[in-house]
């Protein structure tokens, strides 16, 4: 939720995004392009950095025919026919790593964090015709409505390989504090967590540019989700901790190049705002839990609006994440009801 000061502090130097197959130069040798996504958040930003004899691209979009076609247009046109020799992936989510393997088969080096590569390669190989038992049990414990649970348990779930190209063996690891050179600039790696483990952000040394991925977004909140793979995780803690750590380096003049929405300035304010947004959500949920409720019954206090079926999955994992954080803080407790769902209540 944006507050009244946002329009005064957060600025958008490039108020219109580039059209499909076109680019906007946001700094010398740094081009911004947009790729389509088939969902409510209908785009992902990618950036191409000019290394002289080729390009380093940051993030890739989904592996779809439509996205590949946009890339072919970009490569033949605005990218001047020069090869992509390096793909830097901020984190393992499919809209960011989906075509990394495709670029690798065309000769590019993949650069990312170790956790991102391991997660992406594992998930790309982990295809399921139906949800596994652990996922169905996770949904049940989160309080998914019975008819919806039965329907989703019988449907082919989203599989990572649906939109992520196979990843060949081999990548180059980046880690916290490392500095490397792209497009005539030195960039320092700073790692965030919460939205994705070991999410890389890159900060231009001595300059204003920050490649923020989904860790640093201007006007929407990155999803913080808990899944059956780690049902007791606390990504809200990780996110808040990362916001505080980034705050030590953020400047008002930083031009953040985010994974979605528009490039922006006003990063210190935005980091504080992101912390306050989650603290507010936690307080609303805690108040709501004066009476016992499942995670699925916490959507309204968390999001302050109704949640439709297309948003339901992401909403559910985010509700669990906030409840887990309150549990780790000792502010709520839970017990299983007769249907096998956790009932959460505020501690008195």
Q: Which has more pLDDT, 101 or 80? A: 101
Residue 4 pLDDT class (50, 70, 90 cuts): low
Residue 286 confidence (pLDDT)? 98
Closest CA to 247 of 287, 330, 190, 296: 190
Alpha helices for 106-220 (secondary structure H): 114-125, 133-141, 146-153
Residue 215 confidence (pLDDT)? 98
Residue 46 confidence (pLDDT)? 98
Q: How many CA atoms lie within 13 A of 71 on its CB side?
A: 26
Residue 1 pLDDT class (50, 70, 90 cuts): very low
Q: Mean pLDDT over residues 279-300, rounded?
A: 98
Residue 348 pLDDT class (50, 70, 90 cuts): confident
Residue 166 confidence (pLDDT)? 98
Q: What is the pLDDT of residues 301-322, one digit of tens each?
A: 999 999 999 999 999 999 999 9
The helix/strand/coil state of 56 is: strand
The pTM score is 0.96
Indicate the pairing of strand 209-213 with strand 199-204: antiparallel
Q: Mean pLDDT over residues 62-67, rounded?
A: 98
Residues in Cβ contact with 102 at an 8 Å cutoff, skipping those fewer than 6 apart: 60, 63, 68, 165
Distance in angstroms (rounded) separating the CA atoms of residues 239 and 315: 17
Q: Which has more pLDDT, 60 or 8? A: 60
Q: Is a pLDDT exceeding 90 seen at residue 81? A: no
CATH homologous superfamily of domain 6-290?
Answer: Ribonuclease Z/Hydroxyacylglutathione hydrolase-like (3.60.15.10)
Q: What is the pLDDT of residues 11-29, one digit of tens each?
A: 999 999 999 999 999 999 9
Q: Mean pLDDT over residues 214-220, rounded?
A: 96
Indicate the pairing of strand 179-182 with strand 172-173: unpaired
Percent of the chain past pLDDT 70, that is, above it, reads 99
Residue 2 confidence (pLDDT)? 46
Q: Is a pLDDT exceeding 60 seen at residue 3? A: no
Mean pLDDT of the chain: 96
- Residue 32: beta bridge partners? 24, 47
């Amino acid at each position: 939720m944006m507050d009244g000061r946002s329009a005064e502090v957060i600025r958008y130097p490039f108020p219109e995004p580039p059209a499909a197959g076109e680019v906007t130069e946001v700094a010398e040798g740094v081009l911004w392009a947009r790729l389509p996504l088939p969902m409510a958040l209908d785009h992902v930003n990618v950036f191409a950095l000019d290394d002289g004899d080729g390009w380093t691209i940051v993030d890739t979009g989904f592996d779809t025919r439509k996205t590949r076609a946009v890339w072919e247009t970009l490569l033949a046109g605005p990218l001047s026919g020069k090869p992509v020799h390096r793909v830097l992936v901020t984190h393992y989510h499919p809209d960011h790593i989906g075509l990394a393997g495709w670029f690798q088969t065309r000769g590019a080096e993949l650069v990312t964090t170790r956790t991102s590569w391991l997660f992406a390669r594992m998930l790309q190989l982990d295809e399921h015709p139906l949800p596994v038992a652990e996922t169905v049990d996770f949904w049940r414990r989160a309080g998914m409505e019975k008819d919806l649970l039965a329907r989703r348990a019988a449907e082919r779930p989203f599989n990572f390989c649906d939109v992520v190209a196979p990843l060949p063996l081999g990548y180059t690891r980046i880690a916290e504090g490392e500095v490397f050179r792209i497009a005539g600039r030195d960039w320092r790696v700073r790692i965030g967590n919460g939205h994705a483990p070991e999410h890389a952000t890159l900060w231009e040394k001595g300059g204003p540019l920050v490649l923020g991925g989904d860790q640093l977004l201007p006007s929407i909140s990155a999803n913080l989700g808990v899944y059956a793979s780690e049902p007791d995780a606390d990504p809200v803690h990780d996110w808040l901790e990362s916001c505080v750590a980034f705050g030590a380096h953020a400047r008002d003049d930083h031009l953040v190049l985010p994974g979605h929405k528009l490039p922006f300035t006003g990063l210190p304010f935005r980091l504080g705002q992101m912390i306050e947004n989650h603290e507010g959500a936690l307080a609303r949920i805690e108040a709501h839990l004066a009476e016992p409720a499942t995670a699925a019954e916490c959507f309204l206090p968390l999001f302050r609006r109704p949640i439709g079926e297309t948003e339901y999955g992401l909403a559910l994992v985010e509700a669990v994440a906030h409840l887990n954080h309150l549990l780790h803080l000792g502010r709520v407790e839970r017990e299983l009801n007769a249907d096998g769902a956790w009932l959460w209540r505020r501690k008195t």
